[in-house]
């Protein structure tokens, strides 16, 4: 049997559909965010990263790096096994307390990634609720979709951020049926925000539980970095808050936070928690340092918003097709997978600017884009250079510009 034939056929299919992915070989330079070395086929080159989800540059913050090095030096590297086998190490206990406090909840539970926390968190919760109906936003992340699928219970999809549709489904389900509403607070490809207050109103009125993914908001929104729910004053009304340590907190890992009973039940039943090695102590200490810092420092959040607003303004004024976004995400519409990839390659090779192309299945076909994520450390000069490079690329690829006059208005 020629097994490699199966793999080659699968890869050929991706090439044919024009969505085969290539990753650049990058090495970030600590203390010089967003600068990095690109190990290109022609040798190392300096580049500027414009698409990192280390949104606030905390992955290079001296307090965070210091905590990681100090803990690794003191206690070593790995966790030594699953928590069922090897027990719970102290930095993990401290991190869970920090996260519960961040979200104003009784408890939190850590997983090895945000992906795992959604996948095993949603599926375990729904399995523990007899006859549960999951109501899931149409644009939920793949990790949530997998969690819903693995729950094995009935699910219904409501139109993206459409509270009227959600209400219809809640009414149709009836008051006696247990219901779990699952959505994100900030959708990372379009940069739009869920109407969390209205979703909480509906959940309370129709007796549903709420599960909100704050992966693209924790650290960045709310007075202490608790996310959109904190910013909107509804954190206490949401039953389960899920987040990552891998984006604004600059580390790795995911978590859910909520009532002590809910967390204890997930801890006791979730396969994605029970059967996998815990996060290493050094990662936990680093994440705790990042969360603590962002609870009291607003500089990063304010500067982040300022840089995102400036980037949008400069690109808009240049006539570039910035898609409207209420948040720090700056999506630039391309609408063609090949041109999107070409634009990304040209930016990297000719201008030393790294922006990954975003193609199907991450976004719908025909809505391919460059997803730009300015950080607090993208200075004015870098933003200007980005606009100039994009204009050159747009012209070379024959991509349409918006009427500059209109864009400036
Ligand atoms: N939830 C959303 C909305 C995401 O975009 C992602 C990943 O980018 C995840 C969850 C998974 O988080 P992590 O990268 O920590 O696995």
Three-state secondary structure of 293-353 = HHHHCCHHHHHHHHHHHHHHHHHHHCCCCECCCCCCCEEEECCCHHHHHHHHHHHHHHHCE
* Under 8 Å between Cβ of 231 and 202: no
In DSSP notation, 115-155 reads HHHHHHHHHHHHHHSTT-EEEEETT--HHHHHHHHHH-SEE
Angle, vertex CA 370, rays to CA 368 and CA 373, nearest 5? 140
| Local structure of 1: helix, strand or coil | coil
Note the pLDDT tens digit of each residue in 55-96.
999 999 999 999 999 999 999 999 999 999 999 999 999 999
Return the pLDDT at 211: 98
Six-digit token string for 238: 């949401």
CA angle 94, 98, 99 (to 5 degrees): 120
Distance from residue 365's CA to the centre of ligand 1 (Å): 21
How much is the pLDDT for 404? 54
Of 118-132, 328-342, 395-409, where does mean pLDDT reach its minimum?
395-409
Cα(128)–Cα(119) distance, integer angstroms: 14
The vertex-322 CA angle with 246 and 379, nearest 5°, equals 60
pLDDT, residue 409, reads 46
204-207: list long-range contacts, CB under 8 Å, 24+ apart: 204/237, 205/170, 206/167, 206/170, 206/171, 206/173, 206/175, 206/179, 207/175, 207/179
C-beta of residue 260 within 8 angstroms of C-beta of residue 45: no
Q: HSE (CB half, 13 Å, CA atoms) of 304?
A: 25
Is residue 179 within 8 Å of 206, Cβ to Cβ?
Answer: yes
CA 91 to chain centre: 24
Task: Assess whether pLDDT exceeds 80 at residue 38.
Answer: yes
Distance between alpha carbon 340 and the CA centroid of its chain, in Å?
21
For residue range 180-234, list pLDDT tens digits in order: 999 999 999 999 999 999 999 999 999 999 999 999 999 999 999 999 999 999 9
Position 18 scores a pLDDT of 82
The pTM of this model reads 0.96
Ramachandran sector of residue 18 (left: φ over 0; alpha: ψ -120 to 50; beta: rest): left
**Which residue of 53, 59, 140, 141 sits with most ligand 1 atoms within 8 Å of its CB, as the best mutation to test the pocket?**
141
Residue with tokens 């993208």: 378
pLDDT value, residue 19:
84
Ligand 1 lined by 215 (C-beta under 6 Å): yes
Q: How far apart are CA 254 and CA 346, in angstroms?
A: 35
CA–centroid distance, 403 to ligand 1, in Å, is: 36
pLDDT-derived band of residue 403, with 50, 70 and 90 as boundaries?
A: low
Phi/psi at 156 (5° precision): -130, 140
Task: Return the structure tokens found at 30.
Answer: 């600590």
**What average pLDDT does range 240-255 have in this prediction?**
98
55 CA → ligand 1 middle, Å: 13
Q: What is the mean pLDDT of residues 354-363?
A: 93
Predicted pLDDT of residue 408: 47
The reply to whether ligand 1 has any atom less than 6 angstroms from the CB of 115 is yes
State mean pLDDT over 100-117: 98
Q: Is the pLDDT of residue 17 over 90?
A: no
In angstroms, what is the span from residue 114 Cα to ligand 1's centroid? 5
Place of tokens 């396969």: 271
Positions marked catalytic: 247
Closest residue by Cα to atom 15, ligand 1, is 114
Residue 239 vs residues 20, 97, 112, 236: alpha-carbon distances, Å:
39, 17, 21, 8
Tokens representing 147 are 């969690």
More confident residue, 130 or 407: 130
Between CA 188 and CA 199 the distance in angstroms is 19
**CA-CA-CA-CA torsion sign (197, 262, 258, 191):** negative
The answer to whether the CB of 213 is under 6 A from ligand 1 is: yes
pLDDT of residue 266 exceeding 60, the answer is yes
Task: Report the nearest atom of ligand 1 relative to the CA of 184.
Answer: 3
Percent of the chain with pLDDT over 90: 95
Nearest by Cα to 274 from 111, 132, 383: 111
pLDDT at 44 over 50: yes
pLDDT, position 181 = 98
Mean pLDDT of the chain: 96
Q: Quick one: pLDDT at residue 252?
A: 98
Buried b or exposed e, range 186-215, using 16+ CB within 10 angstroms: bbbbbbbbbebeebbebbeebebbbbbbbb
């Amino acid at each position: 049997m020629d097994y490699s034939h199966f793999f080659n056929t699968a890869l050929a299919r991706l090439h044919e559909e024009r969505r085969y992915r290539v990753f650049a070989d990058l090495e970030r330079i600590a203390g010089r965010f967003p600068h990095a070395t690109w190990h290109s086929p022609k040798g190392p080159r300096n580049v500027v990263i414009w698409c990192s989800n280390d949104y606030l540059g905390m992955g290079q913050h001296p307090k965070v790096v210091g905590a990681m090095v100090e803990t690794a030096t003191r206690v070593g590297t790995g966790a030594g096994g699953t928590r069922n086998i090897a027990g719970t190490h102290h930095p993990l206990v401290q991190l869970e307390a920090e996260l519960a406090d961040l979200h104003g909840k009784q408890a939190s539970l850590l997983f090895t990634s945000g992906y795992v926390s959604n996948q095993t968190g949603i599926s375990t919760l729904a399995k523990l609720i007899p006859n549960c109906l999951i109501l899931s936003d149409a644009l939920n992340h793949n990790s949530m979709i997998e969690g819903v699928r693995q729950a094995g219970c009935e699910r219904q999809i409501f139109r993206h951020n459409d509270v009227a549709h959600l209400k219809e489904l809640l009414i149709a389900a009836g008051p006696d049926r247990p219901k779990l509403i699952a959505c994100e607070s900030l959708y990372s490809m379009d940069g739009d925000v869920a109407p969390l207050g209205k979703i909480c109103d509906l959940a309370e009125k129709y007796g549903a539980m709420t599960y909100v993914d704050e992966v693209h908001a924790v650290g960045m929104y709310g007075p202490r970095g608790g996310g959109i729910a904190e910013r909107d004053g509804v954190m206490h009304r949401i039953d389960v808050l899920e987040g990552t340590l891998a984006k604004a907190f600059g580390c790795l890992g995911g978590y859910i936070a909520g009532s002590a009973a809910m967390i204890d039940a997930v801890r006791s039943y979730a396969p994605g928690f029970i059967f996998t090695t815990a996060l290493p102590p050094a990662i936990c200490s680093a994440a705790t340092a990042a969360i603590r810092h962002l609870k009291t420092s607003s500089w990063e959040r304010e500067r982040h918003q300022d840089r995102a607003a400036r980037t949008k303004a400069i690109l808009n004024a240049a006539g570039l097709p910035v898609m409207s976004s209420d948040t720090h995400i700056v999506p630039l519409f391309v609408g063609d997978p090949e041109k999107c990839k070409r634009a990304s390659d040209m930016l990297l090779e000719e201008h030393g600017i790294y922006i990954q192309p975003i193609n199907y299945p991450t976004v719908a076909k025909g809505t391919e884009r460059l997803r730009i994520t300015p950080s607090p450390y993208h200075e004015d000069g870098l933003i200007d250079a980005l606009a100039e490079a994009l204009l050159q690329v747009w012209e070379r690829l024959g991509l349409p510009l918006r009427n500059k006059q209109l864009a400036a208005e």
